[in-house]
Structure 1
Amino acid sequence: MTNRRATAGTRRVVVTGLGAITPLGVGTGTLWEGLLAGRSGIRPLDAPEFADHPVRIAGTVPVDPAELLPRPQARRMNRAARFAVLAAHEAWQDAGFAEGGTRDSGLDPERVGVSIGTIIGGAPVLVDGDRTLRKRGMRAVPPLTAPMTVPSQAASQISLALHVTGEARTVVSACASGTEAVGQAIDRIRYGRLDVVLAGGAEAAVTPEVMAAFTAMRALSARNDEPEAASRPFAKDRDGFVNSEGAGLLVLESEEHALARGARIYCEAAGWGLSADAHHMAAPDPTGRGIAAALRRAVADAGADSRDVLHINAHATATVEGDRAEAAALSTVFGDADGTVAPPVTALKGHLGHLQGAAGGVEAVATALTLHHGIIPPTIACDDLDDAVPLDLVRGSARPLPTRGDLALSNSFGFGGHNAVLALRRR
């Protein structure tokens, strides 16, 4: 097993805190328990605004985030920002920092940053503003519509809540956004720009407009009568993804900073890789070439090789083309003589649906927990594996991590050919 560093002279980055709010509930404990138990957070959309939609299921967070925040604060945030701030507070405190933010934690706020991925951001606020304008006129449009619409509101609200002044950046790269945001944060710490970063993704795009758009693409599963089994990653009978919402954040920290304060370390944020398919505006390259490039770059950036990979958290949205392209890439990079992928693979969108820009953040949290606890959550709703998917897919029940190897990968791919892969190393 190799442990060389591809980026000599840079600082190691570790994960010291985790936070999540997902369709499985509030908190990383609820997320982890639900994943191990094989529970699904996908449920019917009963609101009247979805009544005439052919697809009426989604992965919705089972509580109103506004009820978990101070009312004046919640009123100034879009729904995605509320998710992000809740996950940030959990991750921050899980890392051992004081609830009040940098002021109460003895940190230099200029050495702390935020890096959040999202796709839609506050676009639903703009849609609501348009409805209000058309029905009641210009004077009825809320004055905070503009600042609540921008995609960067989640990052800015975390910055405000925790008094983070180093930087608050936003990454928008389709469904790879959350993973890329974590990767960008790794580099900001590696090269000494920051010591601590809250990184991940947040999304709240379960709206009539977004659901209609995905339905028009024929991208969504239409299993309204069995929502908990609607998202079927890698299954022979999969019929599309399930739209979802939530947030997942990690506290990333330079190793020396974490050790100096005696922090609990989940794992090392060892590297990441990016690529672009340059193939189609929505469909992935069926050969998986772009995905394979991102996989190789993540492994190399971690100072490792393919033999060091002991587990892969697949993107696997349960679309036919997407799942097969990812499987082809995994077979190319990690396959044995007959193409069968050796590292055990899990796909969590059966539990969660597809959280869009938040998917990478939430699944990075799950991958960090997998390394920390030494157990791989199962893939659910895949009773009959696609013959074109040569994977060792963890199904039925959780499985212990292999003893050989030390690197786990978390994959995220998006419309337009955006590919991002995160490499985490167990300690």
Structure 2
Amino acid sequence: MQRVVVTGLGALTPIGNNMTDFWNGLISGKSGAGLLTRFDASKFKTRFGCELKNFDPQQFIEKSEARRYDLYTQYALIAVDEAVKNAEIDFSSLNCNRIGVIWGSGNGGIITFQEQVMEFAKGDGTPRFNPFFIPKMIVDIAAGIISMKYGLRGPNFATVSACATSNTAIIDAFNYIRWGKADMIITGGSEAPLIETTIGGFNAAKALSTNNDEYETASRPFDVSRDGFVMGEGAGAIILESYESAVRRGAPIIAEVVGGGMAGDAYHLTGTHPNGEGAFLGMWEALNEAGIKPEDVDYINPHATSTPMGDMSELIGIERVFGANPQLNISATKSMTGHLLGAAGAIEAIACIKATQEDIVPPTINTKNVEPSVADKFNFTLGKAEKRTVRYALSNTFGFGGHVAVSLFKKFEK
């Protein structure tokens, strides 16, 4: 089996439009929440979310090109461009038949879908659709466009597992490289869901916070007053590479991927198993694959969406694996970024990777009163970042349908 390392990172998030700003936003405890600006949300139960700030895609993509891509694909291209530059990749010097793209999105081009269907509904029933409608909308197109931009002919596909999507993509990329099927894979996920369709749909499912009076602090994982998640948007890109390939080209190695666990709750359409069954199995699988013990893990970035049932079931699963351990840092970065749905796993994996590199655990913000039954069992890293050695960091993601994906990262050591 090949060792798999991280050589590049790119981020486009509600708290920073590049890696530097994203990481600084995380460790400073910055909230990305604000009132929605893309549409008039005054009649919706939720009127806020975590939008990108001061972002203009035409700073990165030509206007004529951008018209062919849904916003989720534009986000993907921008994050990947940063990751490729940070990884110091010269594709012309590499065998691009051995370089792939595995990219995820939970909703794909949902903006395009909404626009086209609404336009059709206004007409006389005659089908007049944009010729780019289907290629802009489908979930796999971002992976395809990334591969076309760089001329990459290795494994190329999209993953979809709801909010576990981009963590699933990372695990797939990890496996393809360690099995010797590729030397390098661009992976991660992107999402652009802050429109009427998704806000209304998740409101109907009673999943979103409706705390419109305190929107900046509405994402409060594990707090007794939590009332649902805050939706976000953006993208996270990760360059995974075999250790041999990275050394051969003198790449900057940031961290190592050592485990990935996938499982299913097999329980409920949208709810997590009350005993954290899938979470437990996914975490155990990741640890077993890495050949480490639970006490070796220093930091967990939990799924922790700030939903009443979901947060508690995850903590039950964590306690089943790790026991009650006040020395174990848990920090829910969704308290700052909001929930990026299919892209959540990517930016949270990046938070774990950076934690191993910098020996800093980002904080959980907004949470004041942790559920009493678990308050003393873990270090929830409340309010401010903590300096500590982070040798192993675990990232949990769960999705509607019971999907579970858990990735495990290690501080890089030669």
Q: Which TM-score tier does this pair reach, normalised by the shorter chain?
A: over 0.9
Aligned to 1:194: 182
Q: Deviations over 1:202-256 (max 9, x none)?
A: 1111110110111111111112222220100111111100111110010000001
Q: Which secondary structure state, in structure 2, belongs to the residue aligned with residue 201 of structure 1?
A: strand
Aligned to 2:356: 371
Q: Flag the 1:129–1:196 CA change in 2: closer, same or farther, 3 A.
A: same
- Let me know the Cα RMSD of the aligned residues: 1.4
The residue identity in structure 2 corresponding to 1:83 is Y
Aligned to 2:267: 279
Aligned to 1:354: 339
Residue number among 32, 46, 49 corresponding to 1:55 in the alignment: 46
CA distance in 2, matches of 1:399, 1:66: 37
CA distance in 2, matches of 1:388, 1:14: 38
Structure 1 residue 135 displacement after superposition: 2.1
CA distance in 2, matches of 1:73, 1:11: 38
Matched, 1:162 2:150: yes
Q: Which secondary structure state, in structure 1, belongs to the residue aligned with residue 2 of structure 2?
A: coil
Show the 5 A alignment for 1:318-357.
318-335=306-323, 339-340=324-325, 342-357=327-342
Matched, 1:112 2:132: no
Q: Which secondary structure state, in structure 2, belongs to the residue aligned with residue 53 of structure 1?
A: coil
Aligned to 1:125: 112
Aligned to 1:14: 5
Partners of 1:59 and 1:352 within 8 A in 2: yes
- Consecutive unaligned residues of structure 2, counting only runs of 5 or more, are none
Matched, 1:392 2:384: no
Structure 1 residue 25 displacement after superposition: 2.5
Q: Which secondary structure state, in structure 1, belongs to the residue aligned with residue 245 of structure 2?
A: helix
TM-score by length of 1: 0.93
Aligned to 1:381: 366
TM-score by length of 2: 0.96
Aligned to 2:77: 85
Q: Which secondary structure state, in structure 2, belongs to the residue aligned with residue 343 of structure 1?
A: strand
Structure 1 residue 391 displacement after superposition: 2.2
CA distance in 2, matches of 1:303, 1:56: 46
CA distance in 1, matches of 2:9, 2:231: 23
Q: Which secondary structure state, in structure 2, belongs to the residue aligned with residue 226 of structure 1?
A: helix
Structure 1 residue 48 displacement after superposition: 4.4
Partners of 2:267 and 2:273 within 8 A in 1: yes
CA distance in 1, matches of 2:129, 2:119: 6
CA distance in 2, matches of 1:140, 1:31: 41
Determine what percentage of the aligned residue pairs are the same residue.
Answer: 37
Structure 1 residue 70 displacement after superposition: 1.3
- Consecutive unaligned residues of structure 1, counting only runs of 5 or more, are 1-9
Q: Which secondary structure state, in structure 1, belongs to the residue aligned with residue 213 of structure 2?
A: coil
Matched, 1:141 2:129: yes
Structure 1 residue 64 displacement after superposition: 3.2
**Size of the alignment, in residue pairs?**
408
Q: Which secondary structure state, in structure 2, belongs to the residue aligned with residue 243 of structure 1?
A: coil
CA distance in 1, matches of 2:385, 2:316: 24
Aligned to 1:6: none
Q: Which secondary structure state, in structure 1, belongs to the residue aligned with residue 156 of structure 2?
A: strand
Aligned to 1:28: 19
Partners of 2:79 and 2:236 within 8 A in 1: yes
Q: Which secondary structure state, in structure 1, belongs to the residue aligned with residue 328 of structure 2?
A: coil
Aligned to 1:71: 63
Q: Deviations over 1:13-60 (max 9, x none)?
A: 000000010111211111000011110111101344322112100111
Structure 1 residue 401 displacement after superposition: 2.4
Residue number among 182, 204, 212 corresponding to 1:216 in the alignment: 204
Partners of 2:4 and 2:241 within 8 A in 1: yes
Q: Flag the 1:66–1:281 CA change in 2: closer, same or farther, 3 A.
A: farther
CA distance in 1, matches of 2:373, 2:265: 21
Partners of 2:366 and 2:383 within 8 A in 1: no
CA distance in 2, matches of 1:182, 1:228: 30
The residue identity in structure 2 corresponding to 1:11 is Q
Show the 5 A alignment for 1:183-332.
183-332=171-320
Q: Deviations over 1:290-329 (max 9, x none)?
A: 1111001001111212121111111100001110011001
Partners of 1:334 and 1:342 within 8 A in 2: no
Q: Which secondary structure state, in structure 2, belongs to the residue aligned with residue 41 of structure 1?
A: coil
CA distance in 2, matches of 1:201, 1:140: 31
Q: Deviations over 1:62-118 (max 9, x none)?
A: 2132442112221111111010010000001100114xxx23xx1111110111121
The residue identity in structure 1 corresponding to 2:24 is E
Q: Which secondary structure state, in structure 1, belongs to the residue aligned with residue 235 of structure 2?
A: strand
Matched, 1:41 2:32: yes
Partners of 1:12 and 1:255 within 8 A in 2: yes
The residue identity in structure 1 corresponding to 2:69 is M
Partners of 1:331 and 1:341 within 8 A in 2: no
Further displaced range: 130-139 or 369-378: 130-139
CA distance in 2, matches of 1:109, 1:47: 39
CA distance in 2, matches of 1:205, 1:380: 23
Partners of 1:46 and 1:56 within 8 A in 2: no
